[in-house]
Amino acid sequence: MIKRLAMWPLLAALLMPALAFAQAGNAAPVAGVDYEEIADGKPFEPLDGKVEVVEIFAYGCHFCAQFQPMVDKWKRGLPAAVRFTYVPATYNLSDPFARAFYAAQGTKGLFSRTHEAVFQAVNTDITLPRNASVDEIAAFYSQYGVAAPAFAAAMRTPATDAKLERARDFALAVDLQGTPSLIVNGRYRVLGKSFEDMLRIADQLIARERSARH
């Protein structure tokens, strides 16, 4: 019995770090540490009863390329009450990669087949230069079943212009600090010490916003 009791201090010492980690993971997010509150922040799209999570990204950002597989897996597990939206980071309305993003979204099934492929081509394979032209990008997308001239034309439409303007205005409104960035309901810009930490904080902010609706 004495020997068994003597084990408790050792077990406690072993369990304390794990317990502390779990408590940290469940702790309420802290303003200025886990997130920054955006003054007069508004969502990218009307919420319509949803919680919105926006990832602002850039195809030429190697951090975004590293984050993409993680965020893709994470967003597939989000509840139906949460809407996840990609928004390209752009201040330059001639940005061809942002234009390609919206042109791909406007072509049925094309975006889902090409999103990670573009990251791969720009950041790993280096088959698309970061300063690629509209025609070079259209030629890349043509590998996925779309005619290059038609895709290049879609990149230049007034509808695409308008979408780029909205993306630029949102980046300015949330005071974009870098990519990738997660924005919850237009109100919170997620911080975090790692990609995993960013997703943990996003989960906490989603839970906060959902509970505030009930």
- DSSP states of 139-189: HHHGGGTS-HHHHHHHHTSHHHHHHHHHHHHHHHHTT--SSSEEEETTTEE
Rounded distance between C-alpha atoms, residue 90 and residue 104, angstroms: 16
Q: CATH classification of 32-212 is 3.40.1160.10, yes or no?
A: no
**Residue with structure tokens 């955006």?**
38
Domain ranges of the chain: 32-212
Q: Which amino acid is at 141?
A: Y
Q: Do 89 and 176 contact (CB within 8 A), yes or no? A: yes
Of 194, 128, 191, which is closest to residue 204 (Cα–Cα)? Answer: 191
pLDDT of residue 26: 62
Q: Do 208 and 29 contact (CB within 8 A), yes or no? A: yes
pTM of the model: 0.86
Q: Do 35 and 203 contact (CB within 8 A), yes or no? A: no
pLDDT tens, residue order, the chain (214 aa): 434 334 444 434 444 444 443 444 567 899 999 999 999 999 999 999 999 999 999 999 999 999 999 999 999 999 999 999 999 999 989 999 999 999 999 999 999 999 999 999 999 999 999 999 999 999 999 999 999 999 999 999 999 999 999 999 999 999 999 999 999 999 999 999 999 999 999 999 999 999 987 6
pLDDT of residue 53: 98
